Amino acid sequence: MATDSNRFQAIISHCKEYGFIFPSSEIYDGLGAVYDYGQWGSELKKNIKDYWWKSMVQLHENIVGIDAAIFMHPTTWKASGHVDNFSDPMIDNKDSKKRYRVDHLIEGKAEELEQQGHQDQSEIILKEMDTLLAENDFDGIKKLIENNKIICSVSGTANWTDVRQFNLMFSTEFGAVSSDEEDNKIYLRPETAQGIFVNFLNVQKSGRMKIPFGIAQIGKAFRNEIVARQFIFRMREFEQMEMQFFVRPGTQMQWYEHWKAQRMQWHLSLGIPASKYRFHDHVKLAHYADAACDIEYDFPIGFKEVEGIHSRTDFDLKKHQEFSRKKIQYFDNDLDESGKPYGNYIPYVVETSIGVDRTVMMVLSEAYEEQDLSTEEKKDSRVVLKIPVHLAPIKLAILPLVKKDGLPEIARSLMNDCKPVFNCFYEEKDTIGKRYRRMDALGTPFCVTIDHQTKEDNMVTIRYRDTMQQQRIPLDQVKNIVKEAMDV
C-alpha cells in the first residue's frame, strides 16, 4: 500500500503501466519535463477539455471559443511585456552548475522545516520570501538563502551566484533566414491568452458581441521551466484552457469575484470535496494584473496551483493598440446613470486560466485508490481509479464470460449498439476477475458480463467499479444506464 509520501510515485508508475502518460521519446531516455499521453490518458484529457468547453462556451451565450495559431507576430510578446518581464529570478550553484528558481529553492526549505515540526520558522521564511520578491530585492533573497543555509541537492554546497532573471520563452526562427538575425526570432507562445487579445476586434465585430462577453480557447503553451521535476505538474510543453472576459472599466472587481465563484463551482462539480481546494491570493502581482488568485488543489505533493484567476485590467489591449497602432476599442451604447452612452473605451479583462495537464493530474490524484480486499481466507487487493463517469476514458467494458457458445456474438452486438454513443472496451481474454481488476485500474465505471443465462433471459450482470456490487439487469437497459450516469 502506498503511504502518503510515495503515493505520488505510485500514481506516476500507474500512469505508465496502464497507458495514461509516458515520458516523451522514452526510447532515447526521455526529454526533461515533456510527456506523451497514451491511449487512455489522451481520452481522459480530451474528456476534461470537452467538459471545460461545454461549461464555459456551450453553456454561456456570451462566451465564444477560438483556436488561434501557436506562432504569433513577434511584436505580440514585446507588447504583452513577456520579452521584458516573463522571467523568473534564478540562482546557480557554482559547484554543480545547477540552476534553481529561487522561490522553489526557498519553498523546498520551508517544506523541510515543516516536516521537522518547525511550522513557525517555515511560515517566517515564506513570508520573508514573498516580501523580498514583491520588492524585487534580489540581494535580500540571496541573503535569505544563505542565512537559512540552503544547499544545492547535487553538490551539497551553498556556493551560490547572485540572483538573476532568466526569460522563460522558447524561441525559434521563422522562414529561411540565418538564425543570427534577431528580426526572424519568433517565440512559442507561453500562454494562449495573447491569441485571444490580438483577435479581440475580429471576434467582437464578426460575432457582434456585446460587453460583457468572453472569448475562450484551449491550446498548447511552452515555457522553458528550469525546475521541472514534478511529473506533468510543471512541463515545458503543456496545455491551457483560458477564457478572457471583457468588461466595462470599473466593473472588473465584481466580475473577478463572479469568476472566482464560478470556477470554484466547476472544480467542485468534478466530485472533489471543498476541503481539497483553497484560494491563494497573490502577494506579488504579475505585470498586467490588479488582482489575482490561484485555485489550489491538495495534490500528493501538497497544495499547488491548478488554475489562475486574474483581473488583467486593460493592460494587454492597450499595449496591443500602442504597438500595432490600430485602435482597439469598443463602443458601448448602453446608457450610464446620467443617461449618456458609455461610449468608446478599451475593455478591462478578467481571465480564468487552467492547465489541462494539472487538471489531469488532479483528477488522477483524487481518483487513485489502493484497496486491501483481503479476507481471512485469502489475500487480495486492487488499485482503482474512481474517475467521474463523464471523464472516464472507457465508460463500459463488455465481457463475454467465455469465447464460445454464442456469447461473443451477443457481446459484439451490444458493443455495436453502444460504441457510437460512448467509449466501450471489448475483452474476452483472462478470467472475469482479472478483467474486472484491469478495468478498475483504468477507471472504467461499468463492466457488463454476458453469460450462458443471457441466452435464456436476455439479462446481463452489470458490475459497478466503486462498490464492486453486481446486479442482473436487462441487456437492453445497459446503454441507457451508462448514458444517464454520464450526464452532468
Q: Which residue ranges make up the site for ligand GAP (CB under 6 A)?
A: 191, 193, 223, 225, 234-235, 238, 240, 242, 305-308, 351, 353-355, 357-358
Q: Least distance in Å: CB of 194 to ligand GAP?
A: 8
Give the nearest distance from C-beta 256 to ligand GAP in angstroms.
14
Min dist CB 204 to ligand GAP, Å, is 19
Complex with ligand GAP: residue 22 or 426, whichever CB lies closer: 22
Q: Tell me how far, at minimum, the Cβ of 81 lies from ligand GAP, in Å.
A: 12
Amino acid letter for position 97: K
Q: 238 or 446: whose CB is closer to ligand GAP?
A: 238
- Which of residues 231 and 425 has its CB atom nearest to ligand GAP in the complex? 231
| Nearest CB to ligand GAP, comparing residues 279 and 464 | 279
Instruction: Select the residue whose beta carbon is closest to ligand GAP and give its number.
Output: 355
How far are the Cα atoms of 278, 453, 470, 481 from residue 436, in angstroms, in the given order? 36, 20, 11, 19
* CA 290 remoteness from chain centre: 24
CB of 93 to ligand GAP, least distance (A): 22
Least separation in angstroms between CB 361 and ligand GAP: 9
Q: Which is nearer to ligand GAP, 80 or 454 (CB)?
A: 80
Query: Please, what is the minimum distance in Å from the beta carbon of residue 292 to ligand GAP?
Result: 8
Return the number of the residue (37 or 160) whose C-beta is nearest ligand GAP. Answer: 37
As a whole number of angstroms, the distance between CA 356 and CA 306 comes to 9
User: Phi then psi for 42, rounded to 5 degrees?
Assistant: -70, -30
Residue 243 or 407: the one with the smaller Cβ distance to ligand GAP is 243
Nearer to ligand GAP, 234 or 465 (CB): 234
Nearer to ligand GAP, 297 or 422 (CB): 297
Q: How far is the CB of 385 from ligand GAP (least distance, A)?
A: 21
CA distance 409 to 429: 15
Q: Which of 321, 342, 339, 340 is nearest to 331 (CA)?
A: 342
Euclidean distance between CA atoms 483 and 422, whole angstroms: 8
**Residue 440 C-beta: closest distance to ligand GAP, Å:** 28
Give me the residue label for grid cell 507588447. 79
